[in-house]
Structure 1
Amino acid sequence: MNGIDDKTRTELEAAAFRRLLDHLRERADVQNIDLMNLAGFCRNCLSNWMKDAADERGVALSKEESRTYVYGMPYEEWKARHQREASPSQLADFEKSRPKH
């Protein structure tokens, strides 16, 4: 992004991230295991990356707080509302492509 200053780039990245979160919240039908199998990351990864970024900067952010931010509700509530049991084929695909992060 030539010609864009660091502040503007950060604002654009933040806007794109918020849009991604909105999209994932709207698509609660898409299971985390499907995201992992197709893209190598899921909502939990995003929340972990956010917590890592906070830790690196000395910002107090718990795992539960970062998950609530990413999911738009407490994680346990999201799981109760939206998470389904993974099928044997989903689990097999996950084992084949298990991410290293």
Structure 2
Amino acid sequence: MAIEAIDDATAAKVLRRLVAHLQHRTDAQNVDLMGLAGFCRNCLGDWLAEASDGTLTRDEGRAAVYGMPYAEWKALHQQPATAEQLRRMDESVAKNAREA
């Protein structure tokens, strides 16, 4: 089944569950998410803002994903990235460019 065949209400429930999961798992660092999958909470917030057709700003989209302003989440939960984490993130993000 193609994802486009899933109705919007079901897809919205999945997005909300994913966001709730990421809000709970503050130990999952964005740099690690980027290193593994090429996207992170910031990406989800940005995509949310883009999909809103201008009703949400980027900061509002990110706040919806984080459950608080990004700066607050960053101060509470974000750890300094290691050189290895940054290397993996750069490699993963480069794959995004090839797929786009």
TM-score (norm 2): 0.84
CA–CA distance in structure 2, aligned partners of residues 60 and 11 of structure 1: 19
CA RMSD in angstroms comes to 1.9
Structure 1: unaligned runs, 5 residues or longer: none
CA–CA distance in structure 2, aligned partners of residues 37 and 17 of structure 1: 21
Measured against aligned partners, the alpha-carbon deviations of 1:50-99 in whole angstroms (never above 9, x if no partner) come to 111113xxx42111111110100111000000001100110111222223
| Number of the residue aligned with 2:83 | 88
CA–CA distance in structure 2, aligned partners of residues 96 and 13 of structure 1: 29
CA–CA distance in structure 1, aligned partners of residues 92 and 33 of structure 2: 11
Aligned residue runs from structure 1 range 42-57, under 5 A:
42-55=40-53
| Number of the residue aligned with 1:13 | 11
Larger Rg: 1
Superposition misfits of 4+ residues, deviation over 2 angstroms: none
Which amino acid in structure 2 is aligned with residue 60 of structure 1?
A: T
Kept in 1, the 8 Å contact 2:35–2:88? The answer is yes
TM-score (norm 1): 0.84
Which amino acid in structure 2 is aligned with residue 38 of structure 1?
A: L
Paired residues, number = 94
Which amino acid in structure 1 is aligned with residue 92 of structure 2?
A: S
Measured against aligned partners, the alpha-carbon deviations of 1:25-64 in whole angstroms (never above 9, x if no partner) come to 0000000010011111110110111111113xxx421111
Paired residue for 1:39, among 37, 40, 53? 37
CA–CA distance in structure 2, aligned partners of residues 63 and 93 of structure 1: 25
- Range moving further from structure 2, 72-81 or 90-99: 90-99
